[in-house]
């Protein structure tokens, strides 16, 4: 099988923990051919098929020089649909260029490409808003740009979290307690004086036990999650914000959430999703480039990358 990874620059990868690298390692172990490109390497010319300026790579096993790349072909481009599978693994932000990349990849699908996660599904599932469809699994949540709505929500729940809809890695997350200190200023900052919507949620004290990343692969939850535990006075558990990642078995509630959301997400073309759970509540559904494969493997020995490649190979048979 020939797999194209559409991702960030390979030189930027932290190989000891990068989930895309874990996928590549397992794919190469199974004898699959690996190629890579960046979204900026995709192109589409009138009357033609979507092309990629891709490089075939071989993983070396060396931590510092972890791959070698073949010389670029004379014409420099491959038809994206000629690959057996295309994995969209570009990290957020989901900005206009990411959006355009999904359109190019959707055209590649019309050419015959098999893209995971499906480009349309990536567009249809904004990672914070997507939880609103599953009200039975989330805590009190409000999406608005109206500061008076936010004040009323705060008055009702007392201790709240505010965050931008397009944030990542814990960026722009604020907690406002019962005293309401700085609520107006924080609202103005996040909603840009009424120009932008934001999400407001009741604070979940279970965050002290971790913000759990439950991985849904091929519609089924992996048996272990990674609890990202806030450190010191920090309210955010995100690893990018300094959280401590602790792998643990899924709780009964985690399994219930995975069993309910998994088939729905898989049916929409989301081969891999990262469902974030605090306590008993889903807080986000990550679909762009979910992570934590390597941390779970290092701590438990469960090979998440193997589970993913099993699901990918099964999907390609359908």
Q: Which residues are identified as catalytic?
A: 128, 163, 213, 228, 236, 276, 284, 286
User: 125: which residues sit within 8 A by CB, 6+ positions away?
Assistant: 265, 268, 270, 285, 287
**Six-digit token string for 5:** 């990874």
Assess contact for 33 and 3: CB atoms under 8 A.
yes
Nearest Cα to Cα of residue 257 among 136, 169, 158: 136
Assess contact for 139 and 201: CB atoms under 8 A.
yes
**Six-digit token string for 67:** 């791959």
β-strand partners of 36? 5, 55
**Six-digit token string for 88:** 């969209």
Q: What is the DSSP letter of 181?
A: T
93-99 long-range CB contacts below 8 Å, 24 or more apart? 93/166, 93/168, 94/122, 94/126, 94/127, 94/166, 94/288, 97/39, 97/40, 98/39, 98/288, 99/123
């Amino acid at each position: 099988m020939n797999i194209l990874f559409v991702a960030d620059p390979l030189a930027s990868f932290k190989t000891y923990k990068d989930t895309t690298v874990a996928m590549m390692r397992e794919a190469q172990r199974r004898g699959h051919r690996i190629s890579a490109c960046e979204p900026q390497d995709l192109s589409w010319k009138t009357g033609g098929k979507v092309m990629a300026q891709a490089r075939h790579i071989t993983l070396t096993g060396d931590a510092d020089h972890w791959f070698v790349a073949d010389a670029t072909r004379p014409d420099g481009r491959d038809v994206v649909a000629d690959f057996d599978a295309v994995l969209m693994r570009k990290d957020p932000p989901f900005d206009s260029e990411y959006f355009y990349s999904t359109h190019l990849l959707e055209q590649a699908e019309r050419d015959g490409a098999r893209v995971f996660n499906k480009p349309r599904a990536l567009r249809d599932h904004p990672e914070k808003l997507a939880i609103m469809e599953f009200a039975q699994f989330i805590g009190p949540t409000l999406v608005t740009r109206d500061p008076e709505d936010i004040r009323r929500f705060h008055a009702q729940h007392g201790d709240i979290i505010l965050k931008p809809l397009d944030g990542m890695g814990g960026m722009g997350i604020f907690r406002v307690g019962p005293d309401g200190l700085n609520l107006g200023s924080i609202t103005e900052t996040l909603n840009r004086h009424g120009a932008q919507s934001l999400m407001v949620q009741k604070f979940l004290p279970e965050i002290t036990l971790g913000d759990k990343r439950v991985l849904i692969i091929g519609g089924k939850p992996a048996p272990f999650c990674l609890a990202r535990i806030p450190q010191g006075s920090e309210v955010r558990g995100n690893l990018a914000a300094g959280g401590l990642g602790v792998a643990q078995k899924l709780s009964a509630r985690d399994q219930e959430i995975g069993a309910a959301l998994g088939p729905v997400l898989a049916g929409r073309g989301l081969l891999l999703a990262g469902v974030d759970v605090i306590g008993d509540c889903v807080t986000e559904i990550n679909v762009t480039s979910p992570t934590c494969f390597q941390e779970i493997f290092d701590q438990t020995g469960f090979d998440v990358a193997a589970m993913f490649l099993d699901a990918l190979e099964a999907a390609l048979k359908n």
